[in-house]
């Protein structure tokens, strides 16, 4: 007896049964002079939902979508590999851990500094202390202090920074963390600070953070563009759309254009990497891959870049 795969559910079953005990699918067998020929089914293919879950999980702002797609894929009993969905869930957990760590680091800076009171002396008291340290001489006349010298100097009032609410300071610390660690845009950080699913700061605290944050938004857009090119092999047009999208990074058109003009990327190589990914994970034909690479609803590579990818696809 040997084990075969059911073509309907992908489970392993004995080659002698007439139908699958799991799903009830008939198991065809052919006879020859040497006995039955077992039709061995191919190993389950990778799930397309798992691929999409992995892509969305890799993007910081859309990892929630990746979690949903991965859970749907894991719940489906279609016999396909679920490895990519599991990886997508792991990546999403890492994003959550990073957010929690950033939140903890911001809260440690909320304690207001308490200035220690300093002892103030009037000019008269200073003179008296100096006289105590010096021995009196016959030639040194004793000067009497004037009434004006007995007036104590006023204590300096606290600076305006000490009157800033703790919530405002926490919002500013959070904004700096998102800018420095995740290279987010100004609009993206504001939405994250005020979101019910994010930091839940008040609109006033978030606006204070935006007014006082020191960030180079062009540099943030450039860093994001480099991430998309290096990790996801996206095209120039696709990266620009992702940077400016209301559902993406929310950079301004000027900031996104700066990133596209200054990012160091080989777009033909990116097109080839995308083509190889479609071929290996989705078993697409060269013609279908070419259409996907150039489509306005797909990867948005140029015709020249797509031609290069197909010509060099093995």
**Secondary structure of 15-73 in the HEC alphabet?**
CCCCECCCCCCECCCEEECCEEECCCCCCCCECHHHHHHHHHHHCHHHHHHHHHHHHHH
Residue 254 tokens, joined: 């000027």
In angstroms, the CA 134 to CA 216 distance is 60
In angstroms, the CA 89 to CA 69 distance is 10
> What is the pLDDT, as a whole number, of residue 58?
73
Going by C-alpha positions, the residue among 5, 104, 50 that lies closest to residue 282 is: 50
Going by C-alpha positions, the residue among 183, 274, 282 that lies closest to residue 223 is: 183
266-294 residue pLDDT tens? 999 999 999 999 999 999 999 999 999 99
71-97 residue pLDDT tens? 776 786 666 666 777 887 788 787 788
9-19 residue pLDDT tens? 777 777 777 77
Q: Is the pTM of this model over 0.85?
A: no
Domain with CATH 1.10.10.10 in the chain: 166-212, 226-309
Average pLDDT, rounded, for the chain: 79
Q: Which fold has domain 166-212?
A: Arc Repressor Mutant, subunit A (1.10.10)
Question: Collapsing DSSP states into helix, strand and coil, what is residue 137?
Answer: coil
The count of other CB atoms within 10 Å of the CB of residue 295 is: 12
pLDDT at 166 over 80: yes
pLDDT at 193 over 60: yes
In angstroms, the CA 214 to CA 172 distance is 10
10 sits in the region (left: phi over 0; alpha: psi -120 to 50; else beta) called left
141 burial (CB, 10 Å; 0-12 / 13-18 / 19+) is: exposed
In angstroms, the CA 266 to CA 233 distance is 9
In angstroms, the CA 92 to CA 61 distance is 10
Q: How confident is the model at residue 113 (pLDDT cuts 50, 70, 90)?
A: very low
According to CATH, what is the number of the domain 226-309? Answer: 1.10.10.10
């Amino acid at each position: 007896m040997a084990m075969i795969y059911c073509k309907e559910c992908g489970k392993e079953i004995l080659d002698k049964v007439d139908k699958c005990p799991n799903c009830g699918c008939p198991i065809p067998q052919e006879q020859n002079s040497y006995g039955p020929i077992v039709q061995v089914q191919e190993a389950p293919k990778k799930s397309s939902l798992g691929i999409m879950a992995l892509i969305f999980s890799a993007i910081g702002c859309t990892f929630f979508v990746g979690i949903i797609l991965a859970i749907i894929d894991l719940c489906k009993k279609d016999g396909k590999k679920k490895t990519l969905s599991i990886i997508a869930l792991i990546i999403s957990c890492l994003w959550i851990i990073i957010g929690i760590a950033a939140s903890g680091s911001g809260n440690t800076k909320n304690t207001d500094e308490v200035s220690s009171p300093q002892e103030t002396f009037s000019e008269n008291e200073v003179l008296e202390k100096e006289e105590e340290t010096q021995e009196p001489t016959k030639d040194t006349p004793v000067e009497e202090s004037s009434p004006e010298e007995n007036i104590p100097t006023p204590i300096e009032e606290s600076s305006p920074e000490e009157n800033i609410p703790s919530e405002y300071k926490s919002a500013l610390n959070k904004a700096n963390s998102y800018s420095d660690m995740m290279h987010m845009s100004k609009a993206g950080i504001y939405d994250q600070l005020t979101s019910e699913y994010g930091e839940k700061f008040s609109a006033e605290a978030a606006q204070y953070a935006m007014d006082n944050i020191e960030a180079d938004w062009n540099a943030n857009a450039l860093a994001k563009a480099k991430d998309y090119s290096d990790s996801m092999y996206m095209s120039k047009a696709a990266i620009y759309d992702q940077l400016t999208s209301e559902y993406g990074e929310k950079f301004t058109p000027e900031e996104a254009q700066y990133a596209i003009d200054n990012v160091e990327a080989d777009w033909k190589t990116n097109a080839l990497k995308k083509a190889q990914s479609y071929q290996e994970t989705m078993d697409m034909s060269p013609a279908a891959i070419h259409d996907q690479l150039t489509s306005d609803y797909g990867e948005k590579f140029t015709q020249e870049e797509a031609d290069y990818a197909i010509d060099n696809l093995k």
